[in-house]
Structure 1
Amino acid sequence: MRIPEFSQAEVLVAGDVMLDRYWHGSTGRISPEAPVPVVRIGGREDRPGGAANVALGLSALGARARLLAPVGRDEAADVLDRLLDAAGVTRHWRRHEGMATTSKLRVLSQHQQMIRLDFEDPPEPGWPLTADDLAAALGDSGVAAVVLSDYAKGALAEPAALIAAAQARGVPVLVDPKRPDFEAYRGASVLTPNRGEFERVAGPCPDAETLVRRAQALLSAHDLGALVITRGEEGMTVVARGEDAIHVAAQARDVFDVTGAGDTVIAVLAGALAAGEDLGHAAALANLAAGVAVGKLGTATVSPTELHRAAAAWQPTVERGVTDPERLPTAVRNLQRQGERVVMTNGCFDLLHPGHVAYLEQARALGDRLVVAVNDDASVSRLKGESRPVVPLADRMAVLAGLASVDWVVPFSEDTPAALIEAIAPDILVKGGDYRVEQIAGHESVLSRGGEVRVLPFRAGYSTTGILKRLRGGSTAPDG
């Protein structure tokens, strides 16, 4: 999966900030004063939370992050200042004398949370951010996306005004919603509710079909561009107006702490969109990043190195290897919506030799995934003669599936794979040998969709026919 150059992205985050405090210690006895454990504090840690964590997440990716938020004139705001300054986040604070900056203190022992203490004041008049505040923070910057991080603490009392102000500047707005009514976010480009937040608005969704149908209804009702719904172990669903839904599978992870996972999702989503990626690919990256974040303790950011590592380990919903040609087209469409380029080639591959291996490695290097279509035994006999194939179909496919360059192997029974190529719809069709593009089966369907057709040379001196001739005592001259 391609990782964008996040350093090209600039994002403004506006909303509720808070200070997350962690006190760590050991516990080995129960208090004589009450039936509660006694924690001997041995370490303390402060981290930005809420909208500040989103900005921190963007900065950790290498993006340029700005943060607009109301804070108090207190020690918690001063700590946030120091932490965000160290991370390179540009702040646009709206300081209020009578406001206490929200802070949350978690006491942990052996990585288990014993208690959480929240320090916050109810909202008062004058706290909410305004369209003028947003315009001032945008200034003449190169901000390519705005995130509204709504934790229902009072900063975003009138989100529609902020959305309209950003949209008037041509800047898309992403919202992490907390309200039971999405009308407050009318006109937003993307909303990122989790399953619970979505069903609180849309009603229970027993299956994916119901979820997509109700999501489309909400998009129309509230003039929203798209919904990116995080669904825990079921991954993520992207529903955009006028487009097919995208279901992104979750990757198997040990979940250590879900704190701040939503912040990670919207930070990566906004950063990727601001870097020029489309929504499908941005959502796939956000899904990967969330999987990394939940494996960490507390509010956590994800680095480009971690994202690259997760992308390298990512697997699509159809498992690698020999697969059913009827299942593969859907998997390929999903990958393409997530920004991956799928390469396809075909052949008999009767006796696999170094020429084949080098050719398949070249083909795979043209994209992110490689599909190899293999003639079945009957079609090989029709093409090569009754003595072929030497190796039966199941064995040929098993050997191909074992190559690191090959993602999927599928059989076909026709004389050409044109119908299979049209069904799978690769981005790049590759053929080896001395062909013209118009001679390659399936070239019309690939080119008509804006894809590419490439011809790669075979390595001289290797061919199945030549190997068989030598084995049967025929000519020893290589025949290419």
Structure 2
Amino acid sequence: MSGPLVVVGDTLLDIDVDGSADRLCPEAPVPVVDVGREWHRPGGAGLAARLAARSATDVVLVTALGDDEGGARLTRLLAGEVELCALPLEGETVRKTRIRAAGQSVVRLDHGDGRAVHGPLDERVVSLLRSASAILVADYGRGVASHPRIRELLAETSAPVVWDPHPRGGPPVPGAALVTPNDGEAAKFAGEPGTPGELAERLRAEWSAGAVAVTVGSRGAVLADGSGTRTTPVPNGARVPASVRPDTCGAGDRFASAVAAALFEGADLDAAVTSAVESAARFVAAGAATALSEPAEPAVAREPGLSGFELADRIRRRGGRVVATGGCFDILHPGHVTLLRHARELGDALIVCVNSDESVRRLKGPGRPVVTAADRVRVLRALESVDAVVVFDESSPVEVLRTLRPDVWVKGGDYAGADLPEAEVVREGGGRIALVPTVEGYSTTRLIETVSNG
């Protein structure tokens, strides 16, 4: 590969404001959200570039950034993730704020009128677009993809161009290798209803594109190219459990970025779409874009001498929500980290209940744990999502939970609430059970077996 994967498009600042909603406003039948914590992440092309960097080794983002606090925040969030090539932005950085209660969106607030300035391009941008091995256009209708000189360069390139369109944006340049609307967007672009396959064929002709892949959520994607139309389903192992209501924020960006990365690595179109369908499904199962967010500021001041029980009392006195989860956490892996991140979003503090060494031996056998309780606690406390850790000796955390009385007890989505021995004591204390998606492919036992057979 002679050049990088270049992502071109509009970057937004996405903000999630998490809280709880236990009552209605007296003036109108709308929920009152008690704000707990605020999370920031790059949206639009910024999110697509960060996701592309998960699959490709050399990613450069060409985007417009404002000279304001939003632009500065985006620059900090992107630093170290991708190489940044900034264009000037006229107006205020666009911010999209989701207000959420118990993980569910209540309303979205949009601010900012920023648009890319259509002036002369820096030679660095021209050079990048001419030398790219693949290009992903994330068009959110804010002027980067409609820049006349950028469109000229995109039409001239011999590199595969993946175009992720937006209803507010313009049409893809003729000759794009693949255009990736979702089914709702495809119907709007076509101007009339039709099956995903019919829409893909119609738009492919209208846009003079090499191929169009219409994404259809949990059903996968429908691809139309010169050889016909075919459906790529989501693999069974990547599906979100039926008991979990997923957050799909950023799923389209993940699909487009995964396709572009696969083409960048030399895959053919069918293999790239198959890889992208699975990547998007796993992305949603792992919490979608929220898993890439960073806290605006800590919600709880950590005090080294404060126990989990003391922290729970303090949070409750402030009117906050205590979240707890538990397990052995022997060899911490990405599945654990994702679960803890999800759990932390459900309240104002997360307390992790950890099996002692003797408890782990009873549950897992004489060869476990691999990591001692003291070291497991030390690693967990180092995570941003964890506010306190409690170690228990019993086989189940029932007695700890009787004292802790969490408002929310979190377990992985592979459990059923009725199967949990601790469910009754949680509910007796006024709490509820929350099941969050698990990340397929990660298991401490499997990791140990892999190392042992290495």
Which TM-score tier does this pair reach, normalised by the shorter chain?
0.5 to 0.7
Mean alpha-carbon deviation: is it higher for 166-175 or for 51-60? Answer: 166-175
Write the distance in 2 (CA, Å) between the matches of 1:93 and 1:48.
14
CA deviations over 1:374-393 (Å, ceiling 9, x no partner): xxxxxxxxxxxxxxxxxxxx
CA-atom RMSD in angstroms: 3.2
Mean alpha-carbon deviation: is it higher for 172-181 or for 101-110? Answer: 172-181
Change (3 A) 1:300 1:133: farther
- Contact residue 268 and residue 286 of structure 1 kept, 8 A: yes
- Contact residue 70 and residue 155 of structure 1 kept, 8 A: yes
Amino acid in the other structure paired with 2:254: T
- Cross-structure match for 2:112: 120
Change (3 A) 1:268 1:298: closer
Determine if the alignment matches structure 1 residue 196 to structure 2 residue 184: yes
Write the distance in 1 (CA, Å) between the matches of 2:108 and 2:290.
18
Write the distance in 1 (CA, Å) between the matches of 2:282 and 2:119.
32
Where do 5+ consecutive residues of structure 2 fail to align? 293-332, 336-454
1:298 CA displacement:
5.2
Match of 2:280 among 278, 290, 296: 290
- Contact residue 191 and residue 227 of structure 1 kept, 8 A: yes
Amino acid in the other structure paired with 2:209: L
Change (3 A) 1:74 1:284: same
Amino acid in the other structure paired with 2:229: A
Determine if the alignment matches structure 1 residue 257 to structure 2 residue 271: no
Match of 1:106 among 98, 122, 132: 98
Mean alpha-carbon deviation: is it higher for 275-284 or for 140-149? Answer: 140-149
- Cross-structure match for 1:353: none
Q: Secondary structure at the match of 2:79?
A: helix
Change (3 A) 1:187 1:204: same
1:279 CA displacement:
0.6
- Cross-structure match for 1:86: 80
Where do 5+ consecutive residues of structure 1 fail to align? 1-6, 308-480
Write the distance in 1 (CA, Å) between the matches of 2:12 and 2:208.
30
- Cross-structure match for 2:136: 147
Amino acid in the other structure paired with 2:215: T
The 5 A counterparts of 1:72-471 are 72-87=66-81, 89-96=82-89, 98-121=90-113, 123=115, 127-128=117-118, 132=121, 136=125, 138-139=127-128, 143-158=132-147, 161-179=149-167, 183-204=171-192, 206-207=194-195, 211-212=197-198, 215-241=200-226, 243-251=227-235, 252-254=239-241, 255-297=245-287, 299=289
Determine if the alignment matches structure 1 residue 67 to structure 2 residue 52: no
- Contact residue 18 and residue 35 of structure 2 kept, 8 A: yes
1:106 CA displacement:
1.4
1:116 CA displacement:
1.4
Write the distance in 2 (CA, Å) between the matches of 1:140 and 1:203.
32
Q: Secondary structure at the match of 1:245?
A: strand
Change (3 A) 1:112 1:8: farther
Amino acid in the other structure paired with 1:94: L
Greater C-alpha radius of gyration: 1
Change (3 A) 1:95 1:189: same
- Contact residue 146 and residue 170 of structure 2 kept, 8 A: no
- Cross-structure match for 1:54: 48
1:301 CA displacement:
7.1
Q: Secondary structure at the match of 1:148?
A: strand
1:60 CA displacement:
2.4
TM-score in terms of structure 1 length: 0.54
CA deviations over 1:18-62 (Å, ceiling 9, x no partner): 011112122323344554333222222111100000001011235
Change (3 A) 1:134 1:286: farther
Mean alpha-carbon deviation: is it higher for 171-180 or for 78-87? Answer: 171-180
TM-score in terms of structure 2 length: 0.57
Aligned length: 289
The percentage of counterpart residues that share the same residue type is 28
CA deviations over 1:288-346 (Å, ceiling 9, x no partner): 011112224452579xx989xxxxxxxxxxxxxxxxxxxxxxxxxxxxxxxxxxxxxxx
Write the distance in 1 (CA, Å) between the matches of 2:158 and 2:217.
32
- Contact residue 135 and residue 165 of structure 1 kept, 8 A: no
Q: Secondary structure at the match of 2:231?
A: strand
Change (3 A) 1:36 1:91: same
Q: Secondary structure at the match of 1:66?
A: strand
